[in-house]
Structures are given as structure tokens and as C-alpha cells.
Chains A and B, each alone.
Chain A
Amino acid sequence: MKGFRAILIKEFQHIFRDRKTLAMVFVIPVVMIILFGYAISNEIKNTKIAILNHAHDPLSYTLIEKVTSTNYFQNIKFLHGNHEIEEIFREGKVRLVLVIPDRFEQSFYKEKNATVQLVADASDLNNTVTLVNYMQTIVSDFQAEQNVLLPNMQPFQINVKMEYNPEMKSVYMFVPGNIAMVMVIVTALMASITLSREKESGSMRMLTITPIRPIFVILGKILPYMIISFFSAIVILLMAVFIFQMPINGGIALLLLICLIFMLTAASFGILVSTFAPSQQVAMIATMMGLFMPTMLLSGFIFPIENMPWILRVFSNIVPSTWFIIAIKDVMIKGAGFVGILKPFLILILLNIVLITITLQRISKK
């Protein structure tokens, strides 16, 4: 145990003496969350929409009031004719126009087939899709309210409430992915690099000749990175809550438990890579290709899994980050308890067991 502690302390010394490592370990998490949080959520937030009302009846004003009452759309522009739509798109300030047709109220109550039209500028598809989705939700929400209220014809309240991420804030989506990325970088990448560095320099041989058991050498070397990445995860959560006002609806203990399990996955992956990699460069590339890229591209972090071709969906199922992100999202946003995340949780554990078993086998072979 004394030897284990000595190695632990030594590894911390390496981290704090090497500027590159220090930057990798502490700066990246903060930069990533700021980048993803601000750059992406702001762009959508500042997009203006316009409304073209042909009906001018009470119900149409109710709908407009509902749309304007959300904090999401600011500076709504009102148009007066169809010709203005193209004009306004060309100016580029507006990406979405809500068109309320003539005789809106009448067709809603009497003919029961009222339609509204959403005209969108699809040149920036990602943002526009988000806008359209949101507007659609508002309109269908409005419709549902009207239907409920129809029998009594009471005046209704305007109450916009969308379940799960009501403002479609992208930071909500990025926080779980961000934690996954940081864990992959700080735990898996650094673990594989630091272990293969010892292999490269021959110090691993030196350490194996000492009486400490190899598993303690590895744990002593990895633990500092695990501690730091856990700390980083907490920093990201704090930033999410205090800077981006993201709620944590579920239990914090459960959240941290999931982080802990995913950290084990990442650490185990890093160790596994280092048992194959002959050099630091190879270890780095292998971790990047094996875990970093899948986390970025296949886990649903940036690109929705539903839109992938089936072969990629299959791959995404064996990427641990996929299940980690699902579990974190469910706990944070939906407030899911342990039972609610049982499936991703168990799959994560299963992937962990498989990975750790392979890793231990590789270590004992060495």
C-alpha cells in the first residue's frame, strides 16, 4: 500500500509539472463547456421570427399571444402580406415565419381543420429544424388547450410548458456529452498515454521488478486522472447549473454514480489500449479512434442516433458513451430515478464488465 501511495504521489507530480498535461486535464473541460454552451445556444436564441396574420380574429391573437409570451422568441416582426416573406428571408434576419390563414377561428371551431403554416429558411438547416420543432410544439400545445377548453368556452390561460427541456436549450443536450468527452480525454486518453510512456521509457520494466504488484502500479498511475476527471465532471455540472441555468431534476448521488461507472469504463479502455500500444503516439491515436471519435459522432452527442443508417446505429449501441449520455440526460432533465435508467445503467455495467475482463486478462499476460 505504501508503494501504491508513492506511485500515486509521483503521478500527481508528473501532472502538475508538465504544462501540456495540466492544460489537457484542467483547461479543456472548461473551454468545451463554454464553447458548446455559449456558441451554440446563443445562436439559436438570437434568431428572430416573424408572424403573418391573415385572420385577425380573436383566436389568432390568442395564438400570437402564446407565441410571444415565450422567452424564446424575442423581437417578433409582424408582416402584412405574403410578398414580405421572401423579402425578410433575403435580409437574413428572420428564419421562420408563422402564417395564420384567413378565417382561422371559424375553421378551427366549425370546420375543425384549421391549419397554420410555418415558412422556414432552410439554408441553415440545423438551427431552422430546432426553430420549427419548437414552433410546432407551441402550436400543437395551443391546439390541445383549445380542444380541452372547447366545451365550456372559457377564456384560457396562456401557459407554455414543454416537457423536458422546454426551451430546447442546446446546452442541456451538450452537458452530458461534454462530461463524456472530458472523461474520455482525461481518463482514457491520459491513462493510455501515461502508461505507454512508462512502457516506452522502460520504467514499466523497472516498476515490475519492484515488489509492488503490477495492478497496483497501474491503479496508482490511473487514480490521479480518475480523481481529476471526476472533479471536472462536477465542475461541468456546476457550470451547467449556475451559468446555463440547467436544472438537475434527478438525484445528484445517482448522477455521480453514473459518472463513476463511466469513468471506470474510460480508465479500463485506456489501460487496454496501453497494453497493445508500443508508443505514446499509437496509444493516443488508438484512444482517439476507439473511444473519442465514437463519443463525438456515434453517441448521439452531436448527431441524433435515429438519423443514422442502421449499421452506425448498431455501432452506437456498443459505444459506452451512448448509454452514459442517455442515463445522464434522463436523470438531469427528466428527473429519472434508478428504475428509470435501469436499461442504460445495466448496459453500461455490462460493457464495463466485458472491458475490464479483457483488460485484466491482457495485464496478467504481460
Chain B
Amino acid sequence: MNSIVVKNLTKKFGDFTAVNNISFEVKKGEVFGFLGANGAGKTTAMKILCGLLKPTFGEAYIAGYNAFTEGKKIRENIGYMSQRFSLYEDMKVWENIELFGTIYKVKKSILKERIKRVIQRLNMQSYADELVGSLPLGQKQKLAFATALIHEPKIVFLDEPTSGVDPIVRREFWELIYETAAKDVTVFTTTHYMDEAEYCNRICIMAEGSVQLIGNPEELKRRMRVNNMDELFCKFVKR
């Protein structure tokens, strides 16, 4: 079953084509890496998939909902986390989770249970009453990820989730991602770290608004006869 289906999707801003006729599918429970240099159209594509932007033409179904007409439905069924902003710094750990839980209409009794579970899973029992601003960056990012999942979405979008965190936390973060995917939640992530791209089940490389390459990282490396992801990436982005 596919949780994201994109066919000939195009987005134009006036004369400028930000996303040019892209097509791909993402399976349920898959970890899908979305790569590309800055300005490749990644952000615009991601906005469309999150139900924030209407495409100019083409088709896009996210969790079964049409990106043209069912933006709100899409937003109810996805989670989103970005590196740029994770959580409110002047609110406590549990308050942050509660805020987003409430915004996503999780029932109070269920939410209470989930907050407890999240804090336990992240070993943050001693931090629960602390302000988020006082946490180390890595902890914040993990907490933000857990918060993005508080309403048990079908798909979670991660926008450069691990920028600026140390390798150990990144590893822990990817453990969380796999754990999530194992529960049949689709993980759609962008990243600038090529080693991270290798952790994905499949990747998609974008350049100049178009999809250049899609497939399993190992397979792609073999097919393109390159030694590592860096080479692969540069080959397509620097044309």
C-alpha cells in the first residue's frame, strides 16, 4: 500500500517552475529520503505534501487524501518536525507535548497516557518539569520528533531533523525513526548528510525542480558505479 502517491506534480510561481512534473510513490512504513541542493524544489514539494500549498497541476495523494482539495484532512493525518524550530523553549517538556497533542485533538485521557509513555521512552523522567530551553539540542530534537508523533499520524515529515546535533544523538535519532517505521508509520525526511541518506530504504534526488533519481541507496550506488553517496549526489546535482 502506498501512503504517498505523486504523479506529474507541478508547481509554478508565475513564470518560475519550482516543481517540474515529478512522480514517485512512497510505501507505507517506508523511510524515504528526499535529497537535493538548496533551491532544488524540495521545500516547495514538501509544502504541497503537507497540505500547505496547492499544486498547479498533477496529482498528489497523501495518506489517501487529495492535495488539491483535502489540505485540512492531510494536515490532520501527518506529523511534521523541522530542525529550525522544534518546540517552545519557555514551556516545560510535558506542556509542549500537551500543547501539540491538544492542537491535534488527542483526547485528554489518552494524551495523558501518551505523554507518560513518550517521556519514559526518551528517558526524560527527570526533565519532564524542566523548560525545553534548558535541554541539550539532541534531547530537544528527539523530544520534537516524539511530539510530532503524539497524534499517531500515518506519515511523518522530517525537515533536516538532525542538523547540528552530534553523531551519537543522530544515531539515537535514527533508532527512533526505525522504531517508528516498524509501526507502519511512513517517514519522509530531507537531509544534507549523505551517510544518513544511506539509512533510508529509498531516496529521491531532486535538482532544478525535477526528480533525477529514485531507488534504494545500495542499488543506486551499484547502478551508477560510484563508491559512496557523496559522489552520487554530486553527480546529479552539479550537472
Contacts and interface: CB of A to CB of B under 8 A. Distances in A.
A210 B82 contact: no
Interface string B70-109: 0010011010101011001011000100111011110000
A13 B85 CA distance: 19
A7 B82 contact: no
Nearest to B78: A209
Given A10-B88, A202-B85, A206-B85, A211 B72 contact: yes
Given A210-B103, A211-B76, A211-B105, A10 B52 contact: no
B85 A201 contact: yes
B102 A2 contact: yes
A203 interface: yes
B75 A209 contact: yes
A3 B88 contact: no
**Interface residues of chain B: helix, strand, loop or mixed (majority):** mixed
A190 to B, nearest CB: 15
A202 B76 CA distance: 20
B50 interface: yes
Nearest to B77: A211
A2 to B, nearest CB: 6
B104 A10 contact: no
Given A203-B85, A205-B85, A211 B80 contact: no
Contact of B91 (A10, A202, A211): A10
B104 A210 contact: yes
A162 interface: no
B102 A3 contact: yes
B144 to A, nearest CB: 9
A205 B80 CA distance: 10
Given A10-B91, A13-B95, A212 B103 contact: yes
Contact of B102 (A6, A205, A209): A6
A3 B82 contact: no
A7 B96 CA distance: 11
Nearest to B75: A211
A60 B135 CA distance: 81
Nearest to A220: B103
**Interface residues of chain A: helix, strand, loop or mixed (majority):** helix
Nearest to B90: A17
A175 to B, nearest CB: 35
B90 A210 contact: no
B84 A202 contact: yes
A10 B103 CA distance: 11
B104 to A, nearest CB: 6
A14 interface: yes
Contacts of A209: 50-52, 75, 78, 80
Nearest to B105: A2
Contacts of A206: 80, 82, 85
Nearest to A212: B103
Contacts of A3: 102-105
Nearest to B144: A206
Nearest to B107: A2
B37 to A, nearest CB: 21
A133 interface: no
A208 interface: yes
A203 B90 CA distance: 13
Contacts of B91: 10, 13-14, 17
A10 B92 CA distance: 11
A87 interface: no
Given A13-B95, A211-B75, A202 B82 contact: yes
A17 B133 CA distance: 13
A18 B90 contact: yes
A206 B88 CA distance: 11
A241 B8 CA distance: 69
B85 A6 contact: no
A116 to B, nearest CB: 66
Contacts of B76: 211
10 contacts: A6-B99, A6-B103, A10-B91, A13-B91, A14-B91, A201-B84, A205-B84, A206-B82, A207-B103, A209-B51
Interface of A: 2-3, 5-7, 9-10, 13-14, 17-18, 201-203, 205-212
Chain A to chain B: the 5 pairs with minimum beta-carbon distance, closest first: A202-B85, A6-B102, A202-B84, A3-B103, A209-B80
Given A14-B88, A202-B84, A211-B105, 18 more contacts: A2-B102, A3-B102, A3-B105, A6-B99, A9-B99, A10-B91, A13-B90, A14-B91, A202-B82, A203-B85, A203-B88, A205-B82, A207-B103, A209-B50, A209-B80, A210-B100, A210-B103, A211-B75
